[in-house]
Amino acid sequence: MSSSPLLPFSIVALTILLFGGCHCSHHTITVQTLIPSSACSSEEVAHQSLKVFHSEGPCAERTFGEQKSESSHLEFLTRDEHRAESLRQRRNAAVPRTQRSARPVVIPARSGIALGTGNYVVTLGIGTPKKDVTVVFDTGSDLTWVQCEPCIGSCYAQQGPIFDPRNSTSYKNISCDSPECSDLIPATGHNSGCSSGSCVYGVLYGDGSFSVGFYAQETITLQGTEILAGVKIGCGTHNKGLFGLSAGLLGLGRAEVSLVSQTASKYKRVFSYCLPSNPSNLGYLRLGSTPRISRIGYTPMLTDASLPSFYFVEIVGITVGGQKLSIPGSVFSTAGAIFDSGTVITRLPPAAYAAMRTAFREQLTMYPTAPALSILDTCYNFTGYDIVSIPKISFNFRGNVSLDVHVSGILYVAKISQACLAFAGNENPSSVAIIGNAQQKTYQVVYDLARGAIGLGAGGCS
């Protein structure tokens, strides 16, 4: 997690108006679609998929009830900056990056804004008999944990009952002197401890949130029928921070303790997801190798020694409004870049962001500007407009792989009078670039650790 912020309720899907099949360099959108829908889509994801949903969108009311996050846009963006800053601090400068080289289960996934650590959430079954819990899934975290009774220190408010391991016949604490306990050190960044012979974990995230508790083995059930026995998880009895109403965190990083590594024999170290363009729609999280769509382009998965759990890629270019930006290759090679499901707003090296911002502003001179919003410095007032034209933005990666940012990921809309470019620049040229989840929407993003590649397929949620 390292303090993954949430996908904002106001980053909404925009309706694209198609004129005669024109493949233009701009999105033409109706301003009315900047207002989020109040209804949850009735569409269901494929069998064996975990549903992904937005915790403050209408789909979330099914899980989280009527309770909503009271976070303002400024608070949300501040949390997102905490997440990005924690990644910057963890990465040592000038460390070379090198390439690394069952049956799938697909889990419905929904966007999770209320969670200060991940933005998108899925529902799992924990224990025997299983108890359903809704957790954030995060590619930037390794340890999976849920809140547990008894809360020895404190537990934050979550929707639904806190899991009580005393009522599960499959729960078992891991002993202090086991090799599994030693695996926690690289995963959490903190030494594991011991209490009455049982292994204790402690994980502190970049925004000051934390979880402390017992390291244990437990059964996880996916989609009601896929049973994973003996999964090592954290049972948090002392938890505090920006987790919203979720029950905990699902770690999808690359360390040995992550769910990806623990299920390697079953799912072959492959998973994918698609994040919905609209909070009223569902996405999915899929464990296993079968792709949802046929046309997927793959770019090499790279590794950085200072952030070994993260998924690095090489950006080779950015296009705005059909024009490739003039950015030296050294700008991207110096910083490196990661795909991260737990950061919302994409962060770019300062030179790359400056070039993007200039090109974007040059193509929107017909609209009045609006005040900056926290880290977002390019904002517009669309009051009085029925239709607006927004330049398309594309990222190009090594291997001739492109990500054409969905129109809903180009703007962060606080209100009609303040619609901002949903990108930000790092201050330091060597700070890692982050492809945030707002810009990943509608793509099937495939993490194939066995192959050493990240795949991108457009139209992945359909």
Q: 326: number of CA atoms within 13 Å, CB side?
A: 1
CA gyration radius, the chain: 21
> Residues with catalytic annotation?
138, 340
Position 461 scores a pLDDT of 85
Longest dimension (CA), the chain: 71
Position 88 scores a pLDDT of 76
d(CA 299, CA 445): 11
Mean pLDDT of successive 10-residue stretches along the chain, which has 462 residues: 35 27 70 66 57 64 42 74 75 44 65 51 94 92 94 89 97 92 67 83 82 95 89 95 87 93 94 88 87 84 89 97 95 94 93 98 97 95 94 97 95 92 95 95 95 94 80
Contact between 409 and 420 under an 8 Å Cβ cutoff? The reply is: no
The pTM score is 0.86
Position 56 scores a pLDDT of 57
Q: Are strands 387-391 and 411-415 parallel, antiparallel or unpaired?
A: unpaired
d(CA 318, CA 324): 6
Position 68 scores a pLDDT of 39
Question: Pick from 26, 18, 7, 21: which is nearest to 407 by CA?
Answer: 26
Show Cβ contacts of residue 360 under 8 Å, excluding neighbours closer than 6 positions: 320, 321, 378, 391, 393, 421
d(CA 324, CA 322): 7
Q: Which secondary-structure segment (H or E) carries 185? A: helix 184-188
Domains, the chain, ordered by start: 26-457 (2.40.70.10)
What amino acid occupies position 305? A
Position 23 scores a pLDDT of 47
d(CA 179, CA 184): 9
d(CA 345, CA 437): 7
Q: Which residues of 84-120 are buried (b: 16+ CB within 10 A; e: fewer)?
A: bbbbbebbeeeeebeebeeebbbbbbbbbbbbbbbbb
d(CA 245, CA 72): 16
d(CA 207, CA 154): 18
d(CA 384, CA 373): 21
Position 111 scores a pLDDT of 61
Position 353 scores a pLDDT of 98
Position 15 scores a pLDDT of 26
Position 417 scores a pLDDT of 94
Tabulate helix, strand, coil % of the chain (nearest 5).
Answer: 15, 35, 45
